[in-house]
A and B are shown apart, each in its own frame.
Chain A
Amino acid sequence: MKKLQQWIDKVDKMYHRYRNILKIIDTKVNTTTVIKSVLFALLISLLIVLIPALVAINLFIYSKLSVILSIFLLILLTSWGFLYFHFYYSLLKTYIPDLENVNLKLPKLFEGSLVSFFLLVLGTIVISVIF
């Protein structure tokens, strides 16, 4: 019970740190830099996952591999969430030098996990419907 309480406190602290970092970021960014970062992060992360995803889809001609390929696609989908936020915050840092001293690891991890979890659930539903 004590351990659970400690764990909840830790998560709560992390969440507050994340909120504070977001507030700092919000004061420094403007719409143009956000749009540029989103578009370039989307482009780079999609270019990275596109080829392995297409290879996996092409290999579905081997029915024996379909389970492994489905798991691989799910992993790829999940990692895309983290990749996107990694590039988004890295680009934001490039466009706004003031963010150089802000630790962006927490928002990357927090938002990446959230999106990846959502994609994982969505991907699992789609794959289970297909097979």
Chain B
Amino acid sequence: MNKWMRDHKKILIILFFPYLLLLFLLVTPTKFALVGPGGLTPVDENVEIEMTEMSKNFYTIYVVSYHPMTPFQKIVAELSQRIAVSKMTQRQEDTTWKEQYLQGQMTKEVSLNTSVIKAYELANLKDSSISVDYSYEGALIYYRPSSMSLLEIGDLVISINGTSLTELTYDMFIDLFYSSLTTTLEIQRVVGSELKTFTFEYTKLADEAWMLFYPQYDIISTIPHVDYTGNNATIGGPSGGMIQTLSIYASLLNLNLKDLKIAGTGTMEMDGTVGRIGGIVQKLYTAMDANADIFIYPYGHISDIPDLDFPYEMVVVKTIEEAVNWLHEKTSTMD
């Protein structure tokens, strides 16, 4: 072996430089982020309702979101029209992979809670035996500048400037928080089995991005009882809210959609609005590859839809009520 190495010494030295270059391309982080097509996840994998068969027609769409990209990934991604490459935002640059994961899991749970509440409320209008009891607990921290190391993703803000958040609506809290550069927040954190509460003086610095929040609703009880069974820890985010709501609603009312494959995206807000999401174009491609029959998306993205020949029916909705009405019309045409 030594002899072989001596004989090929020159080649080995020459090859060492392209090797180093390749290594550099494969591991060095850039300031770019990518969003690429992903796949579909059946909603019935995430939710289980007592004595109710979950509808098998609804699918959430996930996309591959990755930052920071390596130079190799940037070169490869730019060869594909389906992958969007963009400069990392200030918040992305300031977020670690662990925090990104926590954000995804936190928003997934918040989105499931909102979906259950909205679906049960809407189903209650058709069948009064279906009910949900919930309470607004406060605002969960989704993003905070990394300089505020005292705060963690998922901490619950329970009061602002001495006023309990349960006395305010979530929108009132948001208005209050963003109207001032300094605020006093009371934070609640779960440490093991204990609840730890502390006060944090927040000052918005000029070179830092604003903190971001999500409302925390605690579901006290539901009839029929609902359980979250989803265990895919690699998929997170709030974009499945609207389609989860539709799926739970259709399951509660036992709506027959035969074997339609309905994919959809859009966040679910408590006022019924279906909100914007990231990577809409990549989600369109994902639904194409997965042979979806229907694609439901938020009205806020109407101008982002590319001029393509989509192999599925496109449905645009502003609110969950619109989506539910569409669902009933669809069911009636299928009978």
Contacts and interface: CB of A to CB of B under 8 A. Distances in A.
B76 A58 contact: yes
A77 B31 CA distance: 31
Contact of A64 (B23, B72, B77, B289): B289
A108 to B, nearest CB: 13
A93 B27 contact: no
Contact of A90 (B1, B39, B83, B289): B1
B315 interface: no
B234 A58 contact: no
Contact of B23 (A54, A87, A93): A54
A94 interface: yes
Interface string A83-105: 00001001101100000000000
B297 to A, nearest CB: 20
A44 to B, nearest CB: 9
A54 B20 CA distance: 13
A47 B38 CA distance: 32
B19 A51 contact: yes
Contact of B26 (A58, A62, A87, A90): A58
Contact of A63 (B22, B37, B69): B37
B64 A91 contact: no
A131 B41 CA distance: 12
Given A91-B1, A94-B1, A94-B2, A61 B83 contact: yes
A50 interface: yes
Contact of B64 (A50, A55, A61): A61
Interface in B248-288: none
Nearest to A90: B1
Contacts of A130: 234
A59 interface: yes
Contacts of B70: 58
Interface string B59-103: 000001010011011001100100100000000000000000000
Nearest to A62: B36
B11 to A, nearest CB: 15
B249 to A, nearest CB: 29
Contacts of A64: 37, 289
B34 interface: yes
Contacts of B77: 61
Interface in A38-60: 47, 50-51, 54-55, 58-60
Interface of B: 1-2, 19, 22-23, 26-27, 34, 36-39, 64, 66, 69-70, 72-73, 76-77, 80, 83, 234, 289
Given A47-B19, A51-B22, A58-B70, 9 more contacts: A50-B23, A58-B72, A58-B73, A59-B76, A61-B76, A62-B36, A62-B80, A63-B64, A131-B234
25 contacts: A51-B19, A51-B26, A54-B26, A54-B27, A55-B72, A58-B26, A58-B70, A58-B72, A58-B73, A59-B76, A60-B64, A61-B34, A61-B36, A61-B64, A61-B66, A61-B69, A61-B73, A61-B77, A61-B83, A62-B80, A64-B37, A64-B289, A91-B1, A94-B2, A131-B234
Interface of A: 47, 50-51, 54-55, 58-64, 87, 90-91, 93-94, 130-131
